Chain A
Amino acid sequence: EPEVTQTPSHQVTQMGQEVILRCVPISNHLYFYWYRQILGQKVEFLVSFYNNEISEKSEIFDDQFSVERPDGSNFTLKIRSTKLEDSAMYFCASSTATGELFFGEGSRLTVL
């Protein structure tokens, strides 16, 4: 069964450092997303991406965040200067146009 894969599974970084989280969406999907979940809290929308541009973004997705689809298979989330409060599980997801999201297993980011 096709799946969304994410790397790394866990990343520890120092505050102020740049982090790139990588995702390989399901190959025939056209819509890509990043969500995050702070430990013990709700899953929160960050950004959606379609046709090589951002479709929607949340208030969380400020200038520190960026997304890119550098080639035909990868979808990345970059955090330029990490803060302690960026510590969370980051989920990549993809979909066709039907609304059903397929999530990856997440990348746990710990900012020290």
Chain B
Amino acid sequence: SQKIEQNSEALNIQEGKTATLTCNYTNYSPAYLQWYRQDPGRGPVFLLLIRENEKEKRKERLKVTFDTTLKQSLFHITASQPADSATYLCALDISGGYNKLIFGAGTRLAVHP
């Protein structure tokens, strides 16, 4: 069966450290993978998109990797800040670019001062 899994437990880290979040999937061949941030009661906010032929993408303090052999994406936030505390969602496009996204359950990140 098709699955997309993210760390179900909350991730607690100290301010200034690097947060690493994991997204694993099975039985999909996505054209690309996206990461979103969601705050309680609010809509997801797009962070990064990485295509199947890309290994790594960066944007400011964010970095995402995509290993289609391992079927895994890692999402890193360097020099984390309390304002980075939120739930981070991984999403796969399973429609070849029509944005039929399958979301993971998300990992809640808490950055402590």
Q: Which residues of A contact B (CB under 8 A)?
A: 4, 31, 33, 35, 41-45, 48, 50, 55-56, 58, 89, 91, 93, 95, 97-106
* Segment 44-80 of B: residues with Cβ below 8 Å from A: 44-46, 49
Nearest residue (CB) in B for A50 is B98
Q: By DSSP majority rule, is chain A's interface helix, strand, loop, or mixed?
A: strand
How many residues in B have their beta carbons less than 8 Å from beta carbons of A?
25
CB-defined contacts of B89 to chain A, threshold 8 Å: 43
CB-defined contacts of A44 to chain B, threshold 8 Å: 103
CB-defined contacts of A56 to chain B, threshold 8 Å: 95, 98, 100
CB-defined contacts of B93 to chain A, threshold 8 Å: 99
Interface centre among B43, B44, B49, B101 (most CB of A within 10 A): B43
